[in-house]
Amino acid sequence: MRATIMRFLLILLMALPLYAQDNGPARADWLHYGGTQLSWRYSALDQINTTNVRNLLPAWIFQTGDYAENLHSTPIVVDGVMYLISARAQVNALDAATGRVIWQYRYPTPRPGIPGSHSDFIQNRGVAVGDGKVFFGTKDNFVVALDQKSGREVWKVSVDDPKQCGCNITAAPLVVKDKVIIGGNGGDQAHRGYLTAFYAKTGRLAWRWYVVPGPGEKGNETWKGDSWRFGGGSPWLTGSFDADLNLVYWGTGNAAADFYDGDRVAPGTNKTRDVNLYTASVVALDADTGKLRWYYQEVPDDVWDFDSSYEVLLMDRQIRGQTRKILVHMNKSGLTFVLDRATGQYLGSFNVPEVFNWISGVTDDGKLAGRYEPELGETRSFCPSAAGAKSWNSMAYSPRTGFIYTPTNEICTDVTPNDNKPEEGRFFMNGAFPMKLPPNRTAYSHVDAWDPATGKRIWSMPYKFVLLSSMLATAGDLVFTGDPEGNFFALDARTGNKLWSFQTGAGHRGSAISYSVNGRQYVAATSGWHQTLVGGAAAGLFPNENFRLGSTLVVFALPEGTK
């Protein structure tokens, strides 16, 4: 009996660190798209810090070969091996200390006629690693599993017919226990968005949750007529996971069509709550079953293309004197919500952009006030733009400072809506939306530090270009990001002062990470701009600047022997 108890205790002690390693910042690896399943984009490594970052130098460089595309990917590092996917779905396993290629796998080019296969959408934001496999999504809407050691294809499953749904996958999957969970593009297509979970071992379907409820399901009544069939809402980025609550959290996309709601919202609808559920929301789903546990709709009747698909940061913080399990979520408008992640209760919000006119503010109970909407037959100017005060690039959170770090772009849009009728799977934005400068000044951006518990901005660093690269925070009290000209730079996490910069040769659109191999800390920056829908439009606001294309990974470290 005693031996049995001792074996149980040993197993328990061995198992306890697994969650800490997977969801805490203690490991030398970068295990998930957001660093951990909590999505902080934070590394607990501090060998590189504010006193020595000026000495940072390139350690190795890797060219993906997809020069004309981009590099939106977040590398994953597990046990000294880096897994990096290119825009055209070449998966590279690299020695994380040297860049030596261990194996490569290139997914076949999708057959002609696949929606979204044109250059605007040739991108892939990353892989996931778990169960001895490397998982990724494809342009023709498959999820593929490769053997982690050899790169051999283990299984491949179709998520949906892209010719029918108009959708494809650019997001990195999220591995949760024995499942791999993934959303897809298609929020601007006439189609119902969904999240899908597959068993990691076999690729067999585990569950599917539809963002837009069908007839007989709660929430379907918030859609006019049969508009639910074309409702959009695709969750097109990567979610988060709380193992204690067994909940996965995801942001959902905008309702379709984007700028005209006459077909999906009944006249006289109260737009303060629950319109076109569950679009433009944060949702919590049971990780085992996919059942909806709670939701919070941030933008009821989203007629601005202000998706809520972005990253969901999970943390425990003091809120009004009480420690709460909270989540912090910024949608495309820059409006940032703080919710109780166990219940979905609204705890507060703050607005990050300096220039905005789509609402006048948010009420004490979290409702949007003073809505200013597109009008059929008119052209109206809106700030921020449909490209977002923040694009899909992630913010970061440092538990050392307690701050979140956000890139924010000050650009506006002229919206001219139309009332085209939906056709299954077809592009369905219903409007023109050219970007423009904000009133009485040039377009600009800023990196900010915010205390999410109070909604107070701690510091702000203005920047002359748009910033479309993710933030990385480290225990060395540093924040890293990059700009469209190719400058990769480090800021002091407590003050915002710029401490170091390096020209990588191509604009930054992806996400930097930090990891350690054999006691040496590295910072890896994905460098690769492309004139996509957002990147090209943003570049057009700076006609005299050179936003260079490319697809390169540049990995930095301190010189050997540096203390």
Half-sphere exposure of 234 (CA within 13 A, CB side): 27
Q: Are 90 and 66 in contact (CB under 8 A)?
A: yes
Helix runs in 148-291, H state only: 162-165
Tens digit of pLDDT for each residue in 297-318? Answer: 999 999 999 999 999 999 999 9
Give the number of domains in the chain. 1
Residues composing the chain:
563
The pLDDT assigned to 17 comes to: 35
Asked whether residue 79 is assigned to any structural domain, the reply reads yes
Q: What is d(CA 255, CA 333) in angstroms, rounded to the nearest whole number? A: 15
The CB density around residue 21, as the number of other CB atoms within 10 Å, is 15
The pLDDT assigned to 29 comes to: 98
Asked whether residue 551 is assigned to any structural domain, the reply reads no
- Residues in Cβ contact with 310 at an 8 Å cutoff, skipping those fewer than 6 apart: 237, 251, 329, 330, 331, 332, 390, 392, 394
Asked whether residue 488 is assigned to any structural domain, the reply reads yes
The pLDDT assigned to 305 comes to: 93
The catalytic position among 160, 242, 302, 305 is 305
The pLDDT assigned to 534 comes to: 62
Q: What is d(CA 317, CA 136) in angstroms, rounded to the nearest whole number? A: 33
Asked whether residue 561 is assigned to any structural domain, the reply reads no
Which 3 state secondary structure label does DSSP give 395? coil
Half-sphere exposure of 415 (CA within 13 A, CB side): 27
Range of the domain at 330: 2-456+472-546
The pLDDT assigned to 25 comes to: 47
Q: Is 305 annotated in the active site?
A: yes
Asked whether residue 563 is assigned to any structural domain, the reply reads no
Q: What is d(CA 404, CA 382) in angstroms, rounded to the nearest whole number? A: 26
Q: Which of 125, 110, 220 is nearest to 182 (CA)?
A: 125
Q: Which two tokens stand for residue 102?
A: 């261990």
Q: Which of 100, 178, 110, 118 is nearest to 141 (CA)?
A: 110
Asked whether residue 559 is assigned to any structural domain, the reply reads no
Q: Are 213 and 221 in contact (CB under 8 A)?
A: no
Sign, CA dihedral 321-324-330-336, equals negative
Beta bridge partners of 81: 78, 95
The pLDDT assigned to 161 comes to: 73
The pLDDT assigned to 548 comes to: 81
Asked whether residue 560 is assigned to any structural domain, the reply reads no
Q: How far is CA 198 from the centre of its chain?
A: 20
Q: How far is CA 52 from the centre of its chain?
A: 30
- Residues in Cβ contact with 270 at an 8 Å cutoff, skipping those fewer than 6 apart: none
Asked whether residue 255 is assigned to any structural domain, the reply reads yes
Low pLDDT (below 50) residues in the chain: 1-21, 25-26, 119
Q: What is d(CA 384, CA 306) in angstroms, rounded to the nearest whole number? A: 9
DSSP category for residue 52: T
CATH of the domain at 306: 2.140.10.10
- Residues in Cβ contact with 129 at an 8 Å cutoff, skipping those fewer than 6 apart: 31, 76, 78, 83, 135, 148, 175
Q: Which two tokens stand for residue 249?
A: 């959290």
The residue assigned the tokens 């607005």 is 351
The residue assigned the tokens 């293309």 is 305
Q: Are 165 and 186 in contact (CB under 8 A)?
A: yes
